Amino acid sequence: MTLENVGANKSFGGWHKQYRHRSEALNGSMRFAIFLPPQATGDRPAPVLYWLSGLTCTDENFMQKAGAQRLAAELGIALVAPDTSPRGEDVPDDPDGAYDFGHGAGFYVNATQAPWNRHYRMYDYIVEELPALIEAHFPVTAERAISGHSMGGHGALTIALKNPQRYRSVSAFSPIANPSRCPWGEKALSRYLGEDRDAWREYDSAELMRAAEAAQFLPALVDQGDRDNFLAEQLKPEALTAAAQTSGYPLTLRMQEGYDHSYYFIASFIDDHLRFHAQHLAL
């Protein structure tokens, strides 16, 4: 697969780079960013933390705003941040131009409904295609962790819960924890997957965590700000807590006083998340 390098910046002794490539899963062009720590060489490949961003974001938001590179360079963790959806003139978008569906809002699912199913297969892209590409072209190992914010927190949790053998740990900031029971999720899942709510459960963190068995458990850390404007209506962390209590899932969910939904919140606690993942990536 051909990678087109579209940007490069030296950072904390390592390199932040952006690439564009043809995605088979998404049937079109896709962009991602990667930070390679200075330790990452052919003789000493680095484990990877995949970061999934939220609604309206691209591959750039996390890399520019979270301040993760300093500690990632110290710990020797590579960071990979894909875009949040396929894009382009041939990729259908929300017919009303809304921000919470279509471009920038792939929700990390495999769409089954036309016309979305031709391009919106972000689940396959994140789980299969992107890691295969990263591991084939960069000095990284197959040791992976996954994290994300808001819609991306939903994506990170559901992907890890459905594929525990592929990841060492999972974390999230302000995840959409129970999308089958909130406006953002109901809109996206009904359009991408159809009206059968049973199909939605496959992409609902609370439902998946409630049904998880001990052999599938992964270390999980979630941070949520108590001043988040979306807390009560969209995010519903209490559903995740209840699900973990039911199944015994090893979830640490921290309510952070005074914090909102922004990258100021993420930047305040990203070091905690990087150190959490480092504990489980054999570093």
Segment 189-211, tens digit of pLDDT: 999 999 999 999 999 999 999 99
User: What's the CATH code of the domain at 27?
Assistant: 3.40.50.1820
- Give me the number of domains the chain comprises: 1
Residue 259 and residue 7: Cα distance in Å, rounded? 32
Supply the pTM of this predicted model.
0.97
Q: What is the pLDDT of residues 118-127, one digit of tens each?
A: 999 999 999 9
Strands 28-36 and 46-52: unpaired
Catalytic residues, by residue number, are 150, 228, 261
> Which has the closest alpha carbon to 272: 218, 216, 200, 221?
221
Alpha helices for 28-173 (secondary structure H)? 60-65, 69-75, 122-124, 130-137, 151-162
Q: With bands split at pLDDT 50, 70 and 90, how would you rate the model's confidence at 1?
A: low
Its domain, for residue 184, covers 3-281
